[in-house]
Every structure is written in structure tokens, then in C-alpha cells.
Amino acid sequence: MKDLKKEKANISKAGLITLIVFVVVLAVMMTVFCVLYAINKTSYEESAISLENIYQRSFFDLVDNVNNAEVKLGKLVNSTGGTYSKKLLTEIHENANDAQNNLSYLPISMNGIPETTKFINQLSGFTSVLASDQSDTLSSENLKTLKQLYNSVSSIKYKLNEMSTEIMDGYNISKHSNLKENASFTDFTSKIQGVKTVDEDYPSMIYDGPFSDSVVNKEIKGLNFKEISKEEATEIAKKLFEKQEEASKDVEGSTPPENQTTQFVGETNGKFKTYDFKIVLEGGQEYYAQITKAGGKLLTLSSHANRADKTLSNEEAIEIATGFAKAQGLSNMECVWSDVVGNDTYLNLAPVEDNIILYPDLIKVKVDLATGNILGWEATSYYTNHVERNLPSPSYSKAEAKAKISNDFKIVSSRLALSPLEYNREVLTYEFECEKAGATYYFYFNAENGNLENILKVIKTDNGNLLM
């Protein structure tokens, strides 16, 4: 009996010791957990603060550039021309170019603000053209356009300064950049949508190739795929720069991208439904990428490079761009337009089928000539319009169409092109590139009945390159 009691006592003592050890271990684990949680929470809060600081710096830089452009435009429309006007035009172009870069750093769905983005692009291009013009005086037509641009910049400035006041009063860009359920855009994108130009009728000009703005408000035809998950989109975003490295590895002088970190930043449920990501390369360069929910296609990619001496040619940039397109599954793309501006090449890719350029399906690409990195990719036209088509055969001869062009024009080249025209029409045309008095024009004749469908005049800078 005594042995039984002793045994029970020993068991009770062992259980007590086990319990004490368990409690001590649990306490240690809880302490470690709390410490790690506190460290992670502090790290997360520091990252959130750092990200918000980047957003706010980009926003206030955008405000400064728009404010400066508005002041200089006001001086320009009241100037008498000459060297001072050229100086103002150059500075306005730089302000607009910097404003484009500021926008690319903000957590905005770019397909949510197409009018503002297009306007800033036009302001940059138009002032660059006038600054490189040999004339010392501004024509009455150009002066009228500049006054219209001034009115629009003033409107944008007013709205941006209203937002500046809100941000200084505590509005947090990061917290308003998460997409709410059933919303088309984030709160911050919706707020930026209020930054609009006044309604002005600007002259029709081409800065980045024929039909570069062919997307109109119509259904999306090129994304007939099942929807992917956020996790699948994340894996696609992580591999983007592996594809870029593959596209540029054979180009001497290019610098393959480094390792990257990929952060999911939200969703866009506008015309295009996308998963949105912030990508940071090992060297610190930041990208903003949108992957479509339907099919997991790269819709947009944007970044801004640090300035460095260019080492690559325009032809090598085209090779990198077409290689990158091929890595995205687009193998029949050709460069139909390119323009070298500073250290970057801006170019348009279009599919070619049966020797016919498909202009409705354009993709815009920007390549850094210092590293060979893709700095911009915009495929909204392609995924809006691209379908398998039964292309018609011409029933009107090229010779007959050519005969309709005045002898005042020198014909440089000609080819068949599917052209996007008004009323959502896609028409098979003969495209004639012509020159007259130092200017470049494009004539488009219907290949079925010979009717003249469109004439475009090209305005390009002195350092621009046109590849057809």
C-alpha cells in the first residue's frame, strides 16, 4: 500500500514538473512571438511610412511640375517670340516630361486617367516640336493652340492644388489605394480622375505613329480567357524580368535586370480588370505592372530610369522590344514606328498577317538605351481589338490608288494596312507615306473601293526617327 502511495506521489511530482516545464516553454515561446510580432509590426509600419513618403514626394513633384508649366505657358502666350520663347518651350517640355514620370510612380490605374495622361504627353510633344522649329516667331495657329493648352494646364493645376491641401491635412495615399469590393477604381485613382482638362479642340497631330490612339469606347475583344487568381498573377509578375533578360541577352551592351521583389498593391476593376503590382529591382528601380485577370496578360508596365549615357542603338532597342513581346506570347509583332528621344526609344509594335499591318492591335513600348531595360509597355489597344480576322483581298489596285495622289507629293513607301477609322470601322487600306515641303503625310485609300479614308500629317522632333 505504501508503495502504491509512493508511486502516486512520484507520478504527481512528475506531472507537476512536466506542467511547469510546459508553462515555462510556453512563456518563452509567447515572449519570442511577442518580440517577433513587435519587430515585424515595426518593420511593416516603417515600410508603410516609407512607401507613403515616396507617393507623397511623387505627388508634390507632379504638382510642382504642373505649376511651373502653367506659369511658363502664361509667359509664353504673352511673349514676342525669339530666344526667350524657345527657352520657355524647352522648359515646359521638361516639366511635362517630368510630370509623366511623377505619374508613373503613383499608385494609379493608368487606364483610369487616359485623358490626363494623353494631354500631358501631347503637351510634352508639342512644346518639343516648337522648341526645335527654326522659326523665331510663333505662328498664329500655334499661338492659339498654346493658349488652349494654357487653359487646360490651369484647370489641372487648380484640381491638383485642391488635392495638395487634402494631403497636407492628413489624406493618406497608401490607405486609399486599396480596391474596395465591387469598385472599378481605388479611391485615390477616382480622386485623380477629377483632374481633367477643359474641353478644347486641339489640332490632329501624330507624335508616336499612325493610329497610336486607336482605342475607343468599345467592348474588349482580345481577352477571351478564363480568370486567373491573385496568386497566379503574382507568379507572372515575378517572372516579367526573367522574360526581359531573355529578350535582351543577345544584345551587346544591354544590362540584364537584377533580382526583384514583387508586391501586390491592389486591383483595378475598370474597363480592364487587373491585378496591380509594385516591382523593385535589386538596384532600387521601381516598376508598376498590371496583369489582366482574364488570361494573365501584361497590360501595362511603367518605370523611370536614372539618366545615363546611352550605349545601344535604336535598332538594338527594337530587337529588345520585339523579343520582349515574343516572351509575352506575341510572336508576329513588327516595329511600325520608332522615335529616339534623349536616352530612350519610344516605339509601336503591330501584328503583321499576310503582309498586312494590323494598326488596331498596336502595343507601345519604351526602351532605355543605356541598359536595354523595358521602361514602358502599354497593350490596351492590342487586348481591346485583337481577334482572329478573315482579312479581305484588295479589289481595288494599288496603282489606281497611287494615281489619286497629287504630283506635289513624293511617295516614299506604300503597303497594305488594316486601319481603325471612325464609327468603330476596321478598313483594309493602301497606306502611302509621302513627303511635301519637308513634312511627312500618310494617305489611306480604301482597298475595296478606292475612296480616300484618311490623311495624317506627322509632326516630329529633329532627333526623331521614323521606321516604316
Q: Taking the alpha carbons of 57, 60, 62, 65 in that order, is the dihedral positive or negative?
A: negative
Q: What is the pLDDT of residue 17?
A: 66
Q: Taking the alpha carbons of 399, 400, 401, 406 in that order, is the dihedral positive or negative?
A: positive
Residues 89 and 76: their CA atoms lie apart, in Å, by: 8
Which residues are within 8 A (CB) of 68 and not within 5 positions of it... i.e. 6 or more apart? 91, 95
| Mutual angle of helices 314-327 and 240-248, in 10-degree steps | 140
Strand-pair category, 410-421 with 425-436: antiparallel
Contact 168, 226 (CB under 8 A): no
Residues 455 and 432: their CA atoms lie apart, in Å, by: 10
Ordered mean pLDDT values, 10 residues apiece, the chain (468 residues): 52 61 64 56 55 83 90 84 83 86 73 71 78 76 84 87 87 80 74 71 55 61 89 92 68 65 82 86 80 93 73 91 92 87 85 92 90 87 90 93 93 93 83 88 92 80 40
Residues 280 and 46: their CA atoms lie apart, in Å, by: 17
Residue 290's CB is within 10 A of a number of other CB atoms, namely 28
Domain edges within the chain: 48-193, 230-385, 398-458
User: H/E element holding 4?
Assistant: helix 2-76
Q: What is the pLDDT of residue 468?
A: 34
3-state class (DSSP) for residue 43 = helix
Contact 111, 123 (CB under 8 A): no
Residue with grid cell 503583321, as numbered in its chain? 352
Residues 30 and 37: their CA atoms lie apart, in Å, by: 10
Q: What is the pLDDT of residue 463?
A: 39
- Global confidence as pTM: 0.63
User: H/E element holding 37?
Assistant: helix 2-76
The string of DSSP letters for 343-391 reads TEEEEEEEEEETTEEEGGG-EEEEEETTT--EEEEE-HHHHHH-----P
Residues 451 and 447: their CA atoms lie apart, in Å, by: 8
Q: What is the pLDDT of residue 316?
A: 92
Q: What is the pLDDT of residue 467?
A: 36
- Residue type at 417 in one-letter notation: A
Grid coordinates belonging to 312: 545601344
Kindly compute the dihedral angle of the four CA atoms of residues 220, 223, 228, 233, in this order, to the nearest 10 degrees: -90
Q: What is the pLDDT of residue 198?
A: 63
